[in-house]
Structure 1
Amino acid sequence: MPRVTTRPATPQRRDRLDDLVLLRRVRDRIDRDYAQPLDVEALARGVHMSAGHLSRQFRLAYGESPYSYLMTRRIERAMALLRRGDLSVTEVCFAVGCSSLGTFSTRFTELVGVPPSVYRAAGAGTTEGMPACIAKQVTRPVRNREAPAPQPHLA
């Protein structure tokens, strides 16, 4: 029968655990302050890491860069605002913290598969009557450029 023993954590393992705590703080800050002007340098300063170290460790822990995670959060919120239908694409862009309409539209299209204007026109009322927890799951954007490329329409 195998014996279970407790061993003190090695300094290297302790450092990795400390990094995970800091990475969770960064992720929580992105989730909470996505509409604020955030950049990797500011996020790294907040947890006393270099921007490069934060980016490498965040990618190892969560599978994407802090910037990509931030943009995904912004696009998720933008999708909800666009489905409401009472704001223009430009208003939504600025409401979620993006400062460039072009970058917002490009990233939105990469993650969702259609431009924000098309999503706004087609998305109004699609989640009406659906519980919020289900609507969030159904409308979650695809990460890491997994959205299918639009097929050309040949006439």
Structure 2
Amino acid sequence: MARYHRVNIDGQSLYKAETRKTAAALYPGTLAVINGSNLFAQATGVVGRLYVIDCAYHEGLGITDQIPAGHSAIGNYLEEGREFAVRVAAGTYTKDQPITVIAGQAVAVPATAGTYQIIGYSQDAVTTTAVDFIRIRARASSVVVA
């Protein structure tokens, strides 16, 4: 059971979103890009314009329902100051923890050495035992070296 019922927490989806078909099946809360075929595709990292895939309410789907390949999806612009519920792997998340993107999923910046681009900060302090959602506040991408 998801802790959130909607992806777009800030309510700005009416004018800060794009609608495209999906290149492959995508879950709400996944980070995506528009590929060369003008389709939403799962983002592989922090590159170009990023979107947070919204629930496909127009198809009767909720936050835990996958949007099938080739179906219409709404992608919210990932812009500084906006808040979203994003899909994350099981783990412990703390308030103000930096978040990056790995394989289309929001993740806490790893403690391992490396350079990571931050897309936002966790607004929740929670431990999840399965894939779930955390609320993030987006920021302009910045780089952190661990």
TM-score by length of 1: 0.25
Structure number having the greater helix percentage:
1
Structure number having the greater strand percentage:
2
TM-score by length of 2: 0.26
